[in-house]
Amino acid sequence: MAANKAKMILEKDFKIAEIDNRIYGSFIEHLGRAVYGGIYEPNHPQADENGFRKDVLELVKELKVPLVRYPGGNFVSGYNWEDGVGPKEKRPNRLDLAWSTTETNEMGTNEFMKWAKLVNADVNMAVNLGTRGIDAARNLVEYCNHPGGSYYSDLRISHGVKEPYNIKTWCLGNEMDGPWQIGHKTAAEYGRIAQEAAKVMKWVDPSIELVACGSSHRAMPTFADWEATVLDYTYDHVDFISLHQYYGNRDNDLSNYLALSLEMDDFIKSVVSIADYIKAKKRGKKTINLSFDEWNVWYHSNEQDKQIEPWSIAPPQLEDIYTFEDALLVGCMLITLLKHADRVKIACLAQLVNVIAPIMTENNGPAWKQTIFYPYMHTSVYGRGISLNPIITSDKYDSKDFTDVPYLESTAVYNDEEDTLTIFAVNRHLEEGLELEVDIRNFNEYEVIEHIVLENENIKQTNSAYKETVKPHSNGNAKCENGKVITVLPNLSWNVIRLAKQR
Ligand code: AHR
């Protein structure tokens, strides 16, 4: 019998918002083996006629990734997009100062757009506001989105792409608040350039949506002032402000580590407040939403990355091998994003392949799933519809940096077209199961059709190219009894309880 208890009430009319599917976005940067040796490896036995790895395409499709941010990241702040279009033999090798590597430009905008189409994803295109500015930004919008009859749209057509891509979502640079960024700026400097770039990009194509850079993470000394200043300049021209956050279990303190999603929750609430403050200050009508366009666990590879030979081409970089405990935190972070579906409309798990990624590849060998693949896949596949506002009571604990951490991290998604209800839940308890009772009220005639569980006795367990040890099973014990879902969530587990209306 589990000693710890939690209760949840789910009611069809307690809605947070319709989920914008873009919250299940991801990210491919020209960094390490994300592009070269990741999505693109022309000599691989699984390569298609474009050089794209078919095994990777399949795994990305399994994740149902709706949106991929590209081409950076720190990389974009030194990138000349013109280097990556046109005949491949004419494309230059460039020093990538962001990651001290050599970029061959073998892949560029058109190749990436082709790849994205194959995985049914839209692209969230970032422009360079580090070394470049409004001219390169507006030209790229013209190249990608203008139908024809102008210099850059005709250039695209001459590169074999007749129809415009109509890319909807664009990032105005990347992490411009960070001293590590090529072309780092003060908030006022960035605010002005972002304002002018946004203005002319929308003059080229008024249908696009723009993301202004927020802080690189919550602990940045300029956090909050940065967002307020940037939005003061850009409020009329942008649609989103970005958030980035990576976590790590550096002190090997699991209770504290799993509570970090509460910090993410605070971060989101703070940025919502700042965006609304600027709206109020301007007596504005428009609400600025949030694009959490980089989030994940990132720390395992920090030390090994110090050994990389400078200016190598596509070295293994940021290749975190994720443990089972990382998958639990990723699950908690996904639940947190869902709980803010009213304001977080875009989120990108950073990144997608090889670089802090759910999918790994061996050069010339197989592609494989990391532990974090599963919570990301489960939410992306089953978490489409309406994010419900669950009323939760749970036993709690205190950790080094947090008080009152609920053992239960949970939320639910209702899909009214398919008549399904899906509960996502993590039990943070290190040793004990958690007795969960979910009152499903007016979800009459709903029954549990599957209870997926990701669990492992070894919290440090990883997967590898040849052995997938951390993988889900469907033997969870959730069942419906008198209008309630009853279950015991195993200690340290990620759970997906799927219900469907019985016809
Ligand atoms: O995702 C890896 C890097 O993290 C990105 O290039 C940068 O934006 C962030 O600091």
Concatenated DSSP letters of 405-462: EESEEEEEEEETTTTEEEEEEEE--SS--EEEEEE-TT-TTEEEEEEEEE--S-TT-B
Residue 98: per-residue pLDDT: 98
pTM here is 0.98
Residue 351 Cβ contacting ligand 1 at under 6 Å: yes
Tell me, letter by letter, the H, E, C secondary structure of 184-241. Answer: CCCHHHHHHHHHHHHHHHHHHCCCCEEEECCCCCCCCCCCCHHHHHHHHHHCCCCCEE
Smallest CA-to-CA distance from 128 within 208, 193, 178, 179 is with: 193
- Give residue 503's pLDDT band: very low, low, confident or very high (50, 70, 90): confident
Can you state the angle between helices 324-339 and 373-382, rounded to 10 degrees?
Answer: 30
Q: Count Cβ neighbours within 10 Å for each residue of 17-54 and write b for 16 or more, e otherwise.
A: bebbbbbbbbbbbbbbbbbbbbbbbeebebbeeebbbe
Write the pLDDT tens digit of every residue in 39-97. Answer: 999 999 999 999 999 999 999 999 999 999 999 999 999 999 999 999 999 999 999 99
- What is the per-residue pLDDT across 154-165, written as a single tens digit (0 to 9) for each? 999 999 999 999
For ligand 1, atom 1: residue with the closest CA = 350
- How far does the centroid of ligand 1 lie from the alpha carbon of residue 308, in Å? 17
Judged by DSSP in three states, 366 sits in coil
User: Which ligand 1 atom is at minimum distance from the Cα of 318?
Assistant: 2
Mutual angle of helices 260-281 and 225-234, in 10-degree steps: 40
CB contact at 8 A, 10 and 412: yes
Residue nearest to atom 5 of ligand 1 (CA): 73
Residues 6+ apart with CB under 8 A from 79: 30, 71, 72, 103, 128
| pLDDT at res. 3 | 77
Is 2 a residue whose pLDDT tops 80? no
Q: What is the pLDDT of residue 7?
A: 98
Pick the atom of ligand 1 nearest to 29's CA.
6
Ligand 1 pocket mutation pick from 244, 319, 348 by most atoms within 8 angstroms of CB: 244
| pLDDT value at residue 201 | 98
What's 93-141 look like in SS3? CEEECCCCEEECCCCCHHHHHHHHHHCCCEEEEEECCCCCCHHHHHHHH
- Using the atom order of ligand 1, give the atom closest to the CA of residue 98: 6
Per-residue pLDDT of 347-369, as tens digits, reads: 999 999 999 999 999 999 999 99
Q: How far is CA 215 from CA 228, 244, 246, 290, 428, in A?
A: 11, 7, 12, 12, 29
Residue 20 Cα to ligand 1 midpoint, Å, equals 23
Give the C-alpha separation, 44 to 39, whole Å. Answer: 11
Q: What is the 3-state secondary structure (H, E, C) of 35-48?
A: CECCCECCCCCCEC
* 169 Cβ closer than 6 Å to some ligand 1 atom: no
- pLDDT at position 1 over 60: no
How far is the centre of ligand 1, averaged over its atoms, from the C-alpha of 418 (Å)? 37
How far is ligand 1, taken at its centre, from the CA of residue 203, in Å?
29
CA atoms within 13 A on the CB side of 184: 9
- Give the phi and the psi of residue 5 in degrees, each rounded to 5: -130, 150
Mean pLDDT over 302-306 rounds to 96
Q: What angle do CA 204, 207, 210 make, to 5 degrees?
A: 85
Report the C-alpha gap between 131 and 118 in whole angstroms.
Answer: 32
CA distances from 143 to 14, 90, 132, 170, 318 (A): 44, 19, 16, 14, 32
Model confidence at 405, pLDDT cuts 50, 70, 90, reads: very high
The reply to whether ligand 1 has any atom less than 6 angstroms from the CB of 174 is: yes
Tens of pLDDT, residues 452-494: 999 999 999 999 999 999 999 999 999 999 999 999 999 999 9
> Given the CA of residue 174, which atom of ligand 1 is nearest to it?
8
pLDDT above 90 (res 423)? yes
The best mutation among 27, 74, 101, 292 to test binding of ligand 1, ranked by most ligand atoms within 8 Å of the C-beta, falls on 74
What is the tens place of the pLDDT at every residue in 230-280?
999 999 999 999 999 999 999 999 999 999 999 999 999 999 999 999 999
- With a 6 Å cutoff on the Cβ, whether 435 touches ligand 1 is no
Instruction: Please give the average per-residue pLDDT across 369-395, as a whole number.
Output: 98
How far is 436 from 443, CA to CA, in rounded Å? Answer: 17
270-290 pLDDT tens trace: 999 999 999 999 999 999 999
Backbone torsions φ then ψ of 361, nearest 5 degrees: -135, 150
Whole-number pLDDT of residue 300 = 97
Q: Could you tell which of 174, 243, 355 is best to mutate to test the pocket of ligand 1, judged by most ligand atoms within 8 Å of the CB?
A: 174
| DSSP state at residue 268 | H
Determine the Cα–Cα distance for residues 501 and 446; give it in Å rounded to an integer. 4
- State both tokens at 355: 């670089």
Q: In what order do the strands lie in the sheet with 4-9?
A: 391-394, 4-9, 434-439, 484-489, 479-481
| Dihedral, 73, 175, 274, 234 alpha carbons, nearest 10 | -90
List pLDDT tens digits, range 93-109.
Answer: 999 999 999 999 999 99
Contact 299, 249 (CB under 8 A): yes
**Which residue out of 30, 128, 175 has the highest number of ligand 1 atoms within 8 Å of its CB and is therefore the one to mutate?**
175
130 CB near ligand 1 (under 6 Å): no
What are 384's two structure tokens? 């489409």
Q: Residue 189, class by beta-carbon neighbours within 10 Å (0-12 exposed, 13-18 middle, 19+ buried)? A: middle
Q: Under 8 Å CB-to-CB from 72, ≥6 apart: which residues?
A: 29, 30, 31, 79, 98, 126, 174
Q: Which of 215, 208, 267 is nearest to 239 (CA)?
A: 208
Active site residues: 175, 294
Cα(413)–Cα(499) distance, integer angstroms:
10
The 10s digit of each residue's pLDDT in 16-32 is 999 999 999 999 999 99
DSSP state of 490: P
Report the side by side order of strands in the sheet with 15-18. 15-18, 386-388, 408-415, 420-427, 493-501, 446-454
* Cβ-proximal residues to 50 (8 Å cutoff; 6+ apart), any chain: 40, 111, 114, 115
Q: Whose CA is nearest to atom 6 of ligand 1?
A: 73
175 Cβ below 6 A of ligand 1: yes
How large a percentage of the chain has pLDDT more than 70? 100
SS3 473: strand
Q: Whose CA is nearest to atom 8 of ligand 1?
A: 73
